[in-house]
Structure 1
Amino acid sequence: MATASVTQANYDEEDPILCRRCQAFDIQAFSRNTTPWRGYRVSDIADSAASGCPFCSYLVRGLDDAGFQIYTKKRDGRLKARWVHFKVMRAVRDSDSQLGPDGTGLNITYLQVFVRNRNVTNGDLMPLLEFHVVADPGDPASTSGDVIGRYAMRNTSSQELIDVIKSWIATCVDKHDKCSLTMSGQRIATETPLPTRCLEVTADPTAVGGICIRLIETAGMTGGYTTLSHRWPTPPRELQGATTSANLADRLGGKELLESKLPRHFVDACMLTFRLGLKYIWIDAACIIQGTSDPAARVDWAYEAARMASYFQNSRFTIAATYGDDTTGLFSAETPEDFRPLIRLPYCPRPGIIAPRPSFFYLIPSDCHSNKYYTDHVTRSNLLTRGWVVQEWVLSRRILCYTPASVYFLCMEESPRNEDGRVMSIREYREGEAGGDKTFLEQLSNNHLFALELKNVNITDTWSPVYDIWFDLVEAYSKCSLTRPETDKLMALVGIAVEFGRALALAILQVLTNTKIPTWVGGLWVEDMNRGLLWEQVGHLPSSAPTPYPNRHDAGRITEVPSWSWASRRLAVKYNYFKDLYTRNSCEVRAVRDARAGQTETVIAPMAGEGGDEHWESLPIVGSELDQVRIIDPTKTFPILCLRAQLISVLIRETFLDEEERQIAAVLSRHNEPGHWRKVALSSSPGRICGWVSLDREQNQGQTGAGREPRGDQVAADSDEAAGATRGGTNQKLLASIPKAASQHQSVQGQECNDNSDEEEGREVQVTLVSTRHVRGGWPLGYKSSHHTVYNVLYLRSYAHEAATNGRGFERIGIGRLFGPDVQRLFEDAELQELQLF
């Protein structure tokens, strides 16, 4: 990658005095067919540093910072010399042009320094120091292919960096097969259809910045284009530079000079697109008619929102403004603070080759302990906290991330890299507070399914893992923010859902003989609804949060989405589902009703086998079913699940105060992450614990009684301390309160909820069984077998308008698990019932 010359950048041509050892540093010692380790004795390094050798001085500073000693004492009291060891790193999957003329160059990019004995040093150790190894393009060190790193100026608008980006993209287009496939494995055409509207960028010496930007309607045109992923300004500036019904005609007619009207980072993105050889770019604010109170804008947004995902997936690459905004722009110039110290060492050519002139390579100190800059400015950027950015990031095949002093390139086959050629890693992060404070990028990268960071999510292997990946995606996405969650919570995932559906359709065809269309409704897949319903909310909303449903004191509820969907909550969710073959589904989804306001007739879509797929035509879908996936439009439906399931009643008790009790309940119910749980018992034996419940509303408020202020993780213990002191046995160990025997119990209908109270304790509520699993640990529960059954249940309350449902309408209030002989008898006696879940 040809960039700036080192000698032109910031290196003094008059060499500092190198010690004899560094003057003879032989890079050929790291030949591919020899041991990769070479070293210096620490005592020699210290002596050379005292004489002014720049390389040894830098090594000594690193050793001093690490508290490293020159000698160690042996058992007999004698001193033993210690060593530092060098190891090189070679480029990964880079362009063949960066190898030597005979293809045998060393291909070196980094030099790492270790302080452990080389006999025990392995790839798992963290290097003490790390240097980026670079050379000037025409130097023998470079032309031989031995050193392929280049010094890049930290000016993100420089022509040198544009050339680097071009080489990244060219290598990716020519050599990376995965980068030309959609998430579901379909090949992307070279000349793809352009979005409905695009910004066209052409040269104009008389215009601002030398380019002319105008909005066009593509009318079926094809070609290459870019996309911009950015964070919208906060009100009242959110419509700055946006296209509206009022200025649409002028913009399409070329009467408005967009290069002077658009925000600065939009113009920079257009400039970058033009300099990289493309003429079209799609930016949502400029290419979709904006205005929430404008009927024409709402229609246009609904049409374009369903196509946004394909726009990002089919674009040549996405420009991510992880740093830039309407005030700063994308580009930044190199400052003296950005200059990196250089250490120059002589280059020794391969044996038998005589260099025509003195040759050198250079070492640039690098932070080898963490990629803090990448972490701070990319993975932890404000951009990656946006809900809409999830599909932009996941579906884009290539991404250019602009930061204040660097540019990072991501694609489907390689980990992120910057202009230094560095392959970045984001796999190690500390956990955040309850619910997590990590971005969706960090969340997904922690899963082994995302081996090369986020950019090669593979959902085309087998049927079952596709659903598992969906749950991982939902968990990560639920932590992101949306300005209008009541309308966008599900729409922002529609594009990804289409890709998942296509992969599922392919997997179904491989397993089944019939053609069954995967159906996505309310953020869940109908074919895997039994697991999809088992989400648990995490985290707390502040007590001052706005309450859209005041009479129920539930600030976390999004009333535009049914309660059984994870998208009905403003807070993050997690799945603790069972990923084995021993889980048995116990509830059947019979149909889906559309309960839209003002609808005169109920529309019911039966499941396959109960009328066929044609009945789904009564429900509005996004796109068409030609893609072998059915996405029920979340903006036009309020779906109600019609279930056939068992109902029993249980008693909700106080919060677990004893951590040991909570851990025992988690073990007996096979839940690996105990949360903010309440105890559950049966009304016939209220002193015996038979499970737990995680209440959605209670977690939202961070409190158990109205008017109580939340205080983090301790709020449950504080609010229940007095209650526990007045109830016999509330703080006894769980095993001592497990029921050993009980008489048969009859299912009791749930009582009407008091909407004006946040107090759930002591209430008898209904639960519906979703699935069961046989697990080890039957003897502590009084079983003769070493196994027992765990029941995954949803906690319900009667629907507020149950008159329209003949008393069989319910809303979800929480999730939990039950266990024990008494619960088992209840479910064995309970009959299947028809119920509707709103």
Structure 2
Amino acid sequence: MLCEHCEAFDIQDFSPHGKSFQESKHGQTRDILSLKRGQDAGCAFCNLLMEHVREGLAMAESVKGKELELSIHVEANSLGGDGTQKSLQDGLRINRFFVSIRPRYVPYDVAAWHGKWPIHIERDLCVISDPASPARKAEDVVGQWLGHDLSSDHHFETISRWLHSCLTHSQCNQTLSQKRIWNIWEVPLPLRCVELLSHGKGIRLRETDGQRGAYITLSHRWTADTGRCGTTASNYNARLEGKEFPWLSQVFRDALKVTERMGVRYIWIDTLCIIQDGDGGKDWRQEAPKMSQYYQYSLLTISAAVSSPAMGIFNAKIPDKIPQKLVRLPYRDSECCQKGHFYVYERGVGLFAQYEMALQASQFPNRGWIFQEWLLSRRVIYYTDYGLFFECQAHSSKNDSQELAQPITSSQYSPKEINLHPELRWAHIDNTNSNLKVRIGLGKTPPEELWYRLIESYSFRDLTRPEEDRLIALSGIKDAFEEILQQTPGTHWSSEYIAGVWISDVHYSLLWHKEQDSLNDSKVKNLPSWSWAALIAKVRWPRRGQVIPACEISLAGQPEDYEAVSSSPQRISLNLESITSPPGPIIVPHSLQVHGKLIPVLLRQGISQSDELQPVMYITDFEETFNCENIRQVCSISNPYLVGGWGSLEALEVQERLQRSQGATVFALHVSTRKVHKSAIRLGSLWGSYDIFEVLYLDCVGEGKYCRVGVGRIYEQALLDDFSKVNKISFELV
């Protein structure tokens, strides 16, 4: 049953030419009293709206004041399958309603200025129509109910439409370094692929080196079942003949089905296409440098982001896929003639929240290997517990109804690239609503900043064997970044890259610090203390500024003195280097040769209160977030009560020394001088323009050898003068 008002519902009001456009901005507004009357009279749509805004109304009542009457405003999501606004000739293409609460009579712009209104309802209303209905044929309502079965024809038709649309995006037809991919259907094939034989005759491992075509890649978590499927030296020849595939994991079988249904002949699965055992790791070392190309040139990547891989990718739980309280509304065409109906129902969990929970349940964002696969893949289909999500370079993730997964932040609901929290989601750049992948594709992030944003997003992710994989799991991103450097005119960076650090930017690279919420971090034993890669934790770099290097830093020793860190032939996850890189181990030096000034300083108790820490950070031109427990006062040896700087410590042994005594002596290396201009706060003599020393804190571990224990800044003139009293010395930083 519908009330008189809802019986007259006209979806054309959401058009720019709709009759209520001037009053309600592509939507419809109803006052609360009218909706309550309709609800009391048994109107299904009024009841749906009132139930939908129940929690929001409680919030609104607390801020509205007695003089305001409230109304509910409904806006439509009018995005096409590719996430772009359609022309007026294409129909409204509505698949969602967004609901907000606002004062009935207060002008919208004035209310927004006060920052209280409108109050947006996080969950959205899904708008769907039957495939043969007039609403669908006119492309006014394009939302669809696909059902539970992710292997259904409807789902594959949706994937095909999305892929066809994505291939028209210029950003999606270029690599991470923006190299043009002219024909995705005729790209160089990997050394080997799994070939799907015609007429359902099975599969075989195929040597495809030197051939061209299209292929799909699979991104998956390594499980106990994965190893049982692997190609080995003993079954390799048989697999070339289509034999020796007695058992495949359900994820692999489902991925093969997706490939077949998409009409693609080849799929690349690391476990099947790289020899896992029996050759001493030779094939792994040859294939690892090629995976960057494999993922960037694939037609699409299937992401098995399900919480239970043993059940495959089609058996999603889909807890929110059954429509509750389905309401039928009349459909009126552009001539105001009623022609059939369409349907509205409430999503139990907001789409953006669904996307978050799906990734959290799969544990995908926490894995170091998978981060690289995601970043390099041009198109990704996520099979999750909440259904399908699609992602490409041009637009944020969408679900299987072509709905953009985006936070509710704007009354206009324009498509925004999502910014995902680092523990649950993929990538982050400070607090902006910008998808890192989209920013790279559009060239929005300067190369000198891009590398550090990538590392910040990768640094805390899990690796089963960090001693072996910490750098290899990043090598493909490193290679793509090197291509970006080569294409950037005027860059001062060279290609000398060691232990995750570009030597030409080594002074800045050494200034990484452990971020505030770095918990359960651990050391990587075979990596040098000065590299961010030696610590599995969230790390960040300070904002660049007017900085002058204060010491000379170069690689110590000769290449033959470096340690070769090879990968494990027993566990093959996705490692990425460029196709042109020679096969071989990743080389890691033990030390840097430093010629600079060292002075002993005393580390004292921490700065326990954030209100004490904030002015110190401001005056030292440091705008990042720290865990106060890791921040220590830095004092002069000659005057232990003179606090002249601060330090952020990551070395556990130094923290333990501090707990056992009133202080701990370490050495401060003057890395660079930062020119600061501050006038809002005065700290002692610091005000206006002055110099701050950026330092590393070191421990002596042998004659002429030091290791890093922390990072920080020195600002007190007495400590700055101590540096001027000593000469530069040469030593090894290990």
Q: Is the 8 A contact 1:99 1:144 kept in 2?
A: no
Change (3 A) 1:285 1:594: farther
Task: Work out which of the residue numbers 66, 74, 97 in structure 2 matches 1:86.
Answer: 74
Change (3 A) 1:511 1:534: closer
Task: Work out which of the residue numbers 687, 699, 711 in structure 2 matches 1:797.
Answer: 699
| Structure 1 letter corresponding to 2:695 | V
1:217-616 matched pairs, under 5 angstroms: 217-233=207-223, 239-256=227-244, 258=245, 260-291=246-277, 294=278, 296-323=279-306, 325-332=308-315, 338-341=321-324, 342-351=326-335, 358-366=339-347, 371-378=352-359, 381-425=362-406, 438-439=422-423, 441-444=425-428, 447-448=431-432, 451=434, 453-458=435-440, 461=443, 465-507=446-488, 509-510=489-490, 517-538=494-515, 556-575=522-541, 577-580=542-545, 582-594=546-558
Partners of 2:640 and 2:63 in 1: CA distance: 67
TM-score, scaled relative to structure 2: 0.85
Partners of 1:317 and 1:443 in 2: CA distance: 20
Segments of structure 1 that go 5 or more residues without pairing to the other structure are 1-16, 206-210, 429-435, 543-554, 601-621, 706-715, 725-760
Change (3 A) 1:376 1:457: same
Aligned to 2:573: none
- Measured after TM superposition, the shift of residue 320 of structure 1 is 0.6
Partners of 1:483 and 1:567 in 2: CA distance: 15
SS at match of 2:305: coil
Work out which structure has the larger RCO, using CA pairs closer than 8 Å and 6 or more positions apart in sequence. 2
| Structure 1 letter corresponding to 2:514 | Q
Q: Is the 8 A contact 1:460 1:466 kept in 2?
A: no
Aligned to 1:730: none
| Structure 1 letter corresponding to 2:640 | P
Cα RMSD of the aligned pairs, angstroms, is 3.6
| Structure 1 letter corresponding to 2:173 | S
Partners of 1:63 and 1:485 in 2: CA distance: 48
Aligned to 2:29: 39
Q: Is the 8 A contact 2:217 2:300 kept in 1?
A: yes
Task: Work out which of the residue numbers 810, 828, 832 in structure 1 matches 2:706.
Answer: 810
Moved more, 56-65 or 437-446: 437-446
SS at match of 1:94: coil
SS at match of 2:543: coil
Change (3 A) 1:525 1:598: closer
- Measured after TM superposition, the shift of residue 339 of structure 1 is 1.7
> What are the superposed Cα offsets for residues 357-414 of structure 1, whole Å, 9 maximum, x if unpaired?
x421111223575622211112563121110111100110000000124100000111
SS at match of 1:347: strand
- Measured after TM superposition, the shift of residue 298 of structure 1 is 1.8
Change (3 A) 1:217 1:386: same
> What are the superposed Cα offsets for residues 513-549 of structure 1, whole Å, 9 maximum, x if unpaired?
xxx743322101122111111011346666xxxxxxx
1:95-174 matched pairs, under 5 angstroms: 103-117=89-103, 119-121=106-108, 125-128=118-121, 130-173=124-167
Moved more, 657-666 or 129-138: 657-666
Q: How many pairs align?
A: 691
Partners of 2:271 and 2:671 in 1: CA distance: 43
| Structure 2 letter corresponding to 1:684 | S
Q: Is the 8 A contact 2:480 2:578 kept in 1?
A: no
SS at match of 2:598: strand
- Measured after TM superposition, the shift of residue 457 of structure 1 is 3.2
Partners of 1:561 and 1:137 in 2: CA distance: 58
Aligned to 1:786: 688
Partners of 2:431 and 2:583 in 1: CA distance: 29
SS at match of 1:496: helix
SS at match of 1:562: coil
Partners of 2:504 and 2:441 in 1: CA distance: 16
Aligned to 2:417: none
Change (3 A) 1:336 1:635: closer
- Measured after TM superposition, the shift of residue 62 of structure 1 is 2.8
SS at match of 1:133: strand
Partners of 2:518 and 2:656 in 1: CA distance: 12
| Structure 2 letter corresponding to 1:251 | R
> What are the superposed Cα offsets for residues 194-234 of structure 1, whole Å, 9 maximum, x if unpaired?
111211112455xxxxx612212213111111111111115
Partners of 2:637 and 2:169 in 1: CA distance: 62
| Structure 2 letter corresponding to 1:309 | S
Partners of 2:151 and 2:301 in 1: CA distance: 17
Segments of structure 2 that go 5 or more residues without pairing to the other structure are 410-419, 565-575
Partners of 2:686 and 2:438 in 1: CA distance: 49
Partners of 1:785 and 1:323 in 2: CA distance: 55
Change (3 A) 1:470 1:333: closer
TM-score, scaled relative to structure 1: 0.75
Change (3 A) 1:571 1:86: closer
Partners of 1:195 and 1:288 in 2: CA distance: 11
Q: Is the 8 A contact 2:644 2:719 kept in 1?
A: yes
SS at match of 1:479: coil
Aligned to 2:415: none
Aligned to 2:644: 690
2:732 maps to 1:836: yes
| Structure 1 letter corresponding to 2:544 | K
Aligned to 1:745: none
Change (3 A) 1:66 1:681: closer
- Measured after TM superposition, the shift of residue 93 of structure 1 is 6.6
Q: Is the 8 A contact 1:439 1:476 kept in 2?
A: no
